[in-house]
Amino acid sequence: MCGIVGYIGKSDAPTVLINGLRRLEYRGYDSAGLAIIDDERIIISKSAGKVSSLNERARTDWSPDLFSRSTLGIAHTRWATHGPPTEVNAHPHLDRTGEVALVHNGIIENYRSLRARLEGKGHHFYSETDTEVLAHLIGDCDKGDLFQAVCDALHQVEGTFGIAVLSSREPEKIITARRGSPIVIGVGDGETIIASDAAAILAHTQRVIYLDDDDIAIVTADSVDIRDLHNIPVTREIAELGFDAAAAEKCGHEHFMLKEIHEQPEALANAIRGRLDFNLGSSVLAGMGTSPRELADLGRVVLVGCGTSLHAGLVGEYAFEDLADIHAEVQQAAEFRYRNPIIGNRDLVVAISQSGETADTLAAVREANQKGAFVMSLCNVVGSTIARETGRGVYLHAGPEISVASTKAFTCQVAVLLMMALKLGRGRRFSREDGIRLAREIEMIPALVAKVIQQNDHIAEIAGTYAKCEHAFFIGRGPMYPVAMEGALKLKEISYIHAEGFHASELKHGPIALLEKGTPVIAIACDVPGKDKMLGNIEECRARGAHILGLVSEGDHETAECMDDFITIPRCHPLVATIPAVVALQLFSYHVARLRGCEIDQPRNLAKSVTVE
């Protein structure tokens, strides 16, 4: 979604800001803009569309000299919420005097009443955005102290914000603040970079400070002074990012998605490393922060997430019930706090989120905390809001995931959920020997995934048969049912083919009406419980003319013969097999989308992290 970059230092600010915005492009956006201060005036350049258009625009409008003498500025990529993605709605927005500029992520929920009040005082608004209202409000509060003006304005707003503000009257600083929308500050050598995502900071420094909600910072080239909204100083540690700029590069791959699919053996090895205990037949997940007694006392596991993370939770549901003999259920994070979730202090709520910033998942975490549940998270982004608010949990260590379509985060989420289920299972149901056997299976996951990736060329060839279809149906049973849902999500988001995932038995309760001659059905028919019934479901589809692509277990020639095309999945534990199976579907979706000429890494209308409800 929207991205913020702010810079104050010794380099040419417009170039630094535009490069920073490029690093945030993966998050999804539809317009961009930047503001600098020159000769005691704020100068703005904006463009609907891509950062490349903004770059051209700024380089046309501004002289090279202006570029090189500006050492402070703020910039933004906007994912439209209030008003279409036009130049006038793009950020930065100015206050009434034109002396204060603001970029903003999040939503000011009471902007209508604030706007009416300001209009009553003679303010005129040019855009449809909530952000312009906040810019005017800050300007209205400014009595000569920008920091105090931002504090006063933020006391009046309801909603979420990550902001960066500059004023031509105080041109040596940027004010930044957050509530519900991340801000990270990179502390460089004689330069400070503000961003909504560490990806924009990587090129400058590894040293970062994550703001907490209701923190507000006065940032100069050499200092970061953080306070709360009542002007009380607060201390925030400097953290190391732990990954370098190369991690956010394509490294020779045509797309980030393909790179991230190929990175999975390594990402999974990182997610698993040091976390299996072959002696006890268990797993070591210190971040869970649970004693064996607490684990034994748990009544239920509730998994919450959205999109791909929700699908990982669905696999986790099977894993917790099968392996740990504990009641488990998945709830859509978006619904969690709007129903009456029956949650108590013997329930473990696991929030699953790659970004750790998804608004719905964060809201579910807060609801579960309020209800006294034992809450933990499974996040990829270190220091993200959900990771910090839960305080307990397990990081995925998958490395930065840039492509909007989640791949390596999903497989690492499932691997970690399997390890969590193993840990719970050992306290409840598993013998040491059972535990060791499962730990050995989990240890093999990176190699199993590598075997699927070796079929890349074969999968690319198969994709040609499906690239022109308009609809596709994915079916699975048992733990392969969530894999079918994830396969369908992947295909629809990057290829724009209408794809749906169903439990194979559900087909004849309705969706089978959609099958006609040639309709692709992607059947996950690996050797998992229920496979015989799955073969029956495939025959039902074939009888109606469907074209079947099967995922079959290695060496299962009989099943392979039922398929029009097939991809083999290495033999392993049925829950473990969900991981190589999904990798095959990721590659399939990728190649179909590539053949259709789609913009794979930044699909239309999508954002990498969805920070609004």
Hey, which residues are catalytic here?
2, 608
- Per CB under 6 A, 12 contacts ligand M6R: no
Stretch that binds ligand M6R, among 168-176, 402-410, 430-438, 467-475 (CB under 6 A): 402-410
Which residue of 77, 354, 553, 611 would you call a contact of ligand M6R, by CB under 6 A? 354
CB of 412 to ligand M6R, least distance (A): 11
Which residue of 55, 361, 586, 602 would you call a contact of ligand M6R, by CB under 6 A? 361
Cα–Cα dist 314/335, whole Å: 16
Count CA within 13 A, CB hemisphere, residue 11.
17
CB atoms within 10 A of CB 304: 32
- Per CB under 6 A, 404 contacts ligand M6R: yes
Residue type, 498: H
Pairing of strands 93-94, 72-78: unpaired
CB of 356 to ligand M6R, least distance (A): 7
- Per CB under 6 A, 363 contacts ligand M6R: no
Question: Which residue number, 567 or 610, has a Cβ lying nearer to ligand M6R?
Answer: 610
Cα–Cα dist 98/90, whole Å: 16
- Per CB under 6 A, 589 contacts ligand M6R: no
Question: Which residue number, 307 or 530, has a Cβ lying nearer to ligand M6R?
Answer: 307
Cα–Cα dist 241/226, whole Å: 20
Which residue of 353, 411, 559, 602 would you call a contact of ligand M6R, by CB under 6 A? 353
Q: Please spell the DSSP secondary structure of 132-147, one letter per residue.
A: HHHHHHHHHH-SS-HH
Q: What backbone phi and psi angles, to 5 degrees, belong to 167?
A: -135, 135
Question: Which residue number, 320 or 410, has a Cβ lying nearer to ligand M6R?
Answer: 410
**Site size with ligand M6R, rule: CB under 6 A:** 16
Which residue of 358, 377, 568, 589 would you call a contact of ligand M6R, by CB under 6 A? 358
- Per CB under 6 A, 390 contacts ligand M6R: no
CB 353 within 8 A of CB 386: yes
CB 476 within 8 A of CB 541: no
Nearest residue to ligand M6R, using CB?
307
CB of 382 to ligand M6R, least distance (A): 13
Stretch that binds ligand M6R, among 177-185, 203-211, 220-228, 349-357 (CB under 6 A): 349-357
Taking residues 86 to 125 in sequence order and writing x for each that binds ligand M6R by CB under 6 A, - otherwise, the string is ----------------------------------------
Taking residues 593 to 612 in sequence order and writing x for each that binds ligand M6R by CB under 6 A, - otherwise, the string is -------------x--xx--
Question: Which residue number, 196 or 354, has a Cβ lying nearer to ligand M6R?
Answer: 354
Stretch that binds ligand M6R, among 32-40, 404-412, 512-520, 563-571 (CB under 6 A): 404-412
Question: Which residue number, 427 or 603, has a Cβ lying nearer to ligand M6R?
Answer: 603
CB of 257 to ligand M6R, least distance (A): 9
Which residue of 355, 390, 589, 602 would you call a contact of ligand M6R, by CB under 6 A? 355
**By three-state DSSP, how is residue 189 classified?**
coil
* CA dihedral over 438, 440, 446, 447, signed as positive or negative: negative
Stretch that binds ligand M6R, among 74-82, 251-259, 348-356, 539-547 (CB under 6 A): 348-356
CB of 404 to ligand M6R, least distance (A): 5
CB of 411 to ligand M6R, least distance (A): 12
The two tokens of residue 596 are 């259709």
Question: Which residue number, 404 or 522, has a Cβ lying nearer to ligand M6R?
Answer: 404
Ramachandran region of residue 391, left (φ > 0), alpha (ψ -120 to 50) or beta?
Answer: left
CB of 256 to ligand M6R, least distance (A): 12
Question: Which residue number, 196 or 361, has a Cβ lying nearer to ligand M6R?
Answer: 361
* Closest listed residue to residue 5, CA positions, set 30, 32, 31: 32
CB of 600 to ligand M6R, least distance (A): 11
Cα–Cα dist 35/523, whole Å: 52
CB of 176 to ligand M6R, least distance (A): 23
CB 569 within 8 A of CB 468: no
End-to-end CA distance of the chain: 12
Question: Which residue number, 403 or 553, has a Cβ lying nearer to ligand M6R?
Answer: 403
Q: Which spans in 254-330 are helix H?
A: 256-262, 264-272, 292-297, 307-324
Residue type, 599: E
> Which residues, at least 6 apart from 532, have a Cβ–Cβ distance to it below 8 Å?
none
CB of 347 to ligand M6R, least distance (A): 21
CB 234 within 8 A of CB 213: no
* Closest listed residue to residue 384, CA positions, set 207, 241, 528: 241
Helices (H) and strands (E) counted in the chain, each on its own, are 21, 26
Q: What backbone phi and psi angles, to 5 degrees, belong to 76?
A: -155, 145
- Looking at residue 95, what DSSP letter applies? -
Cα–Cα dist 114/109, whole Å: 10
Taking residues 463 to 502 in sequence order and writing x for each that binds ligand M6R by CB under 6 A, - otherwise, the string is ------------------------------x---------
Burial class (CB in 10 A: 0-12, 13-18, 19+), 544: middle
- Per CB under 6 A, 377 contacts ligand M6R: no
CB of 179 to ligand M6R, least distance (A): 19
Which residue of 406, 495, 559, 602 would you call a contact of ligand M6R, by CB under 6 A? 406
Question: Which residue number, 168 or 403, has a Cβ lying nearer to ligand M6R?
Answer: 403
Cα–Cα dist 249/571, whole Å: 34
CB of 135 to ligand M6R, least distance (A): 29
- Per CB under 6 A, 405 contacts ligand M6R: yes
HEC secondary structure over 360-398? HHHHHHHHHHHCCCEEEEEECCCCCHHHHHHCCEEECCC
Q: Which of residues 261-320 bind ligand M6R (CB under 6 A)?
A: 306-309
Cα–Cα dist 131/102, whole Å: 8
Ramachandran region of residue 605, left (φ > 0), alpha (ψ -120 to 50) or beta?
Answer: left
CB 531 within 8 A of CB 525: yes
Question: Which residue number, 105 or 205, has a Cβ lying nearer to ligand M6R?
Answer: 105
Question: Which residue number, 224 or 415, has a Cβ lying nearer to ligand M6R?
Answer: 415
Where on the chain is the footprint of ligand M6R (CB under 6 A)?
306-309, 353-355, 358, 361, 404-406, 493, 606, 609-610
